[in-house]
Amino acid sequence: MNQPADAVTRARQNSVGDVLRRTARRYPDKLAVVAGDLRVTYAEFDTAVNRAAHALAARGLAKGDRLALLSHNCWQYAVLTYATARLGVLLVPINFMLTPNEIAHILRHSGSSGMVTEDALAATADKALAVAGIQGVRGWISLSGAAPDGEWEDIDPWWQEGPGTPPDVAVADDDPLRLMYTSGTESRPKGVLLSSRSLITQYASCAIDGGMSDDDIEVHALPMYHCAQLDVCFNVDVYLGATSVILPGPDPAALLATIAREKATKLFCPPTVWISLLRHPDFDRTDLSSLRKAYYGASPMPVEVLREMRQRLPGVRLWNLYGQTELAPVATVLRPDEQLGHIGSAGRPALHVETMVVDDEDNPVPAGVVGEIVHRSPHATLGYHHDEDKTAEAFRGGWFHSGDLGVFDDGGYLTIVDRKKDVIKTGGENVASREVEEALYGHDGIAEVAVFGVPHPRWVEAVTAIVVPRPGCGLTPGDVIAFARTVLAGYKCPKYVVITEQIPKNPSGKIVKRALRDSYRDLAG
């Protein structure tokens, strides 16, 4: 062992686990997290994370292992995010709306050594673990006060008791620390590996281009299993030393009341949630004067809603953030002074991102020409877990290929002109149309199906299925929706089903989904 070299490497360590410790040393007595009645300083947060890390190690988790986390937003989510990072354990956040079978796939594919779940989700977690055949750490988060049956262990003592000193684990900048599952065009979600280098450079890009600072007070209401809330918002606040207010979900009344009570200055929401806030009867009678910064992303913002936000929140500066999980996730930013002059644009590349638009042969195209959006950035994923072929395809030519189609104007502003292949953005969630199609083909009465998104006033896009039934089966839209609910998470189920005799195809036999989207774009109206 080269001791001088090892000492230099350790002294230069810059992992996600170091972020909180450094902030705690700068601002030990500053309010770090508010979650219900709990209010903790950065020093207290840091100690809780160290204790939880030691507890995980005592239960057999070590660097390189994976821990799945299935929960709504809570204080314990924040603790486990940093406790796993300090050990070099990969955190695997799981969408709490998934079915047990969908969760089981993630558990198996990730190779998780255990799971922590919210008490109210323990029954779902038990089914998923049984299907996956996993025996390991089983912790539960007490949010409702009801202990689950079986082998679950209350995790509150993990962060309340034990050594408050950091574990002695060396974590390199490009050691994987997070395994995020994202819906792409495949029938199964892909595991995106993110390292400290990916995440921390993304935090810096967000802080600079997003005008974020240590005096922010931010409400975190969107799910922390998404990169957007976890890594554009919460972890950037920790990086800077801002104050985070955690809510279990984006209930409009609770969200508005929390902004007023905590005098929040900053809020991120996808368009669907901004719409729900604007339409809520408490909006105009709630004191929102503390709010200074607003962020939107995850799906396109309707232009009329953007104009309404500027009118009804005149003192608030707006940012549009575009990206994807593979970029940890921010790629481009449209700043406040650019909103009106570039309505509909995704902005320009973020601080640590280089972006091009290329043709089918991966050659750069000039401004005004549509092509695929590609990036070079330390934000980028280390690759797809257990999938070298998809990793090689995504990074061909030394650029990460987003799958999105876009166009640059002469000023360097990017506009997204088509969705990432066949992904539907509904309520801030990604739904892979192919996954829904394959699930619906499990119905004996369906001969052919095409799934796509149509514009919707609440969800921005609504999952829609065009179905050709088998002869003589008498299939109805209600039959299709009822079946979908037995095999898919609720947000993936079609909101609209159209029964038809044939689905339009091009000369090569491929379904023309752009034509379907055009034909049915007024379905929700």
Q: What is the pLDDT of residues 497-515, one digit of tens each?
A: 999 998 887 554 567 787 8
Give the tens place of pLDDT for each residue, 310-363.
Answer: 899 999 999 999 999 999 999 999 999 998 889 889 999 999 999 999 998 999
Look up tokens 């030691």; give the residue.
54
Q: Please give the pLDDT value at position 438.
A: 79
Q: Are 373 and 357 in contact (CB under 8 A)?
A: yes
β-bridge partners, 44: none
Confidence of residue 430 (pLDDT cuts 50, 70, 90): confident
Spatial separation of the C-alpha atoms in residues 126 and 122, rounded to whole Å = 6
HSE (CB half, 13 Å, CA atoms) of 412?
8
Neighbours of 43 (CB within 10 A): 16
Q: Please give the pLDDT value at position 223.
A: 94
Compute the 3-state secondary structure of the chain and give helix, strand, coil in percent, each to the nearest 5: 35, 25, 40
Q: Are 338 and 347 in contact (CB under 8 A)?
A: yes
Closest C-alpha to 181, from 84, 267, 122, 111: 111
Length of the chain: 525
Q: Please give the pLDDT value at position 259.
A: 98
Spatial separation of the C-alpha atoms in residues 183 and 219, rounded to whole Å = 26
Give the tens place of pLDDT for each residue, 142-158.
Answer: 988 788 888 899 999 99
Q: Please give the pLDDT value at position 233.
A: 98
Look up tokens 């969107």; give the residue.
222
- Give me the mean pLDDT over the 411-419 stretch: 86
Q: Please give the pLDDT value at position 510.
A: 60
At residue 381, the 3 state secondary structure works out as coil
Highest mean pLDDT among 65-69, 300-304, 340-344: 65-69
Q: Please give the pLDDT value at position 286.
A: 98
Give the tens place of pLDDT for each residue, 229-242.
Answer: 999 999 999 999 99
Q: Please give the pLDDT value at position 102.
A: 92
> What DSSP letter does each residue of 485-501 carry, written as one string?
HHHS-GGGS-SEEEE-S
Fold designation for 423-519:
GMP Synthetase; Chain A, domain 3 (3.30.300)
- Give me the mean pLDDT over the 258-267 stretch: 98
- Give me the mean pLDDT over the 208-219 stretch: 98
Q: Are 24 and 43 in contact (CB under 8 A)?
A: yes
At residue 135, the 3 state secondary structure works out as coil
Closest C-alpha to 181, from 512, 396, 432, 494: 432
Torsion over CA: 428, 37, 20, 264 (sign): positive
| Class of residue 250 by CB neighbours under 10 A (exposed 0-12, middle 13-18, buried 19+) | buried
- Give me the mean pLDDT over the 127-140 stretch: 95
Estimate to the nearest angstrom the gap between the alpha carbon of 208 and the chain centroid: 21
pTM (predicted TM-score): 0.86
Spatial separation of the C-alpha atoms in residues 179 and 163, rounded to whole Å = 27
Cis peptide leading into 166, omega within 30 of 0? Answer: no
Confidence of residue 183 (pLDDT cuts 50, 70, 90): low
Q: Are 197 and 344 in contact (CB under 8 A)?
A: no
> What DSSP letter does each residue of 233-249 carry, written as one string?
IIHHHHHHT-EEEE-SS
At residue 362, the 3 state secondary structure works out as coil
Whether pLDDT at 432 is above 90:
no
β-bridge partners, 430: 425
Whether pLDDT at 184 is above 60:
no
Estimate to the nearest angstrom the gap between the alpha carbon of 492 and the chain centroid: 16
What are the φ and ψ backbone dihedral angles of 343, each rounded to 5 degrees?
-60, 130
| Class of residue 165 by CB neighbours under 10 A (exposed 0-12, middle 13-18, buried 19+) | exposed
Q: What interhelical angle do 271-279 and 252-262 show, nearest 10?
A: 80
Report the helix count and the strand count for the chain, using DSSP H and E. Answer: 17, 26
At residue 409, the 3 state secondary structure works out as coil
Q: What percent of the chain has pLDDT over 70?
A: 96
Give the tens place of pLDDT for each residue, 79-114.
Answer: 999 999 999 999 999 999 999 999 999 999 999 999
Closest C-alpha to 257, from 279, 212, 287, 227: 287
In the chain, domain spans = 423-519
Q: What percent of the chain has pLDDT over 90?
A: 78
Whether pLDDT at 300 is above 70:
no
Give the tens place of pLDDT for each residue, 29-40.
Answer: 999 999 999 999
Whether pLDDT at 298 is above 90:
no
Q: Please give the pLDDT value at position 181.
A: 96
Show the tokens assigned to 285: 């009678």
Residue 223: which residues within 8 A CB-CB, separation 6 or more?
72, 73, 95, 96, 229, 249
- What's the whole-number average pLDDT of the chain? 93
Q: Please give the pLDDT value at position 245.
A: 98
Whether pLDDT at 304 is above 80:
no
Q: What is the 3-state secondary structure (H, E, C) of 195-226?
A: EHHHHHHHHHHHHHHCCCCCCCEEEECCCCCC
Maximum C-alpha span of the chain: 78
19-33, 378-392, 429-443, 505-519, range with the lowest pLDDT:
505-519
Q: Please give the pLDDT value at position 187.
A: 55
Estimate to the nearest angstrom the gap between the alpha carbon of 62 and the chain centroid: 25
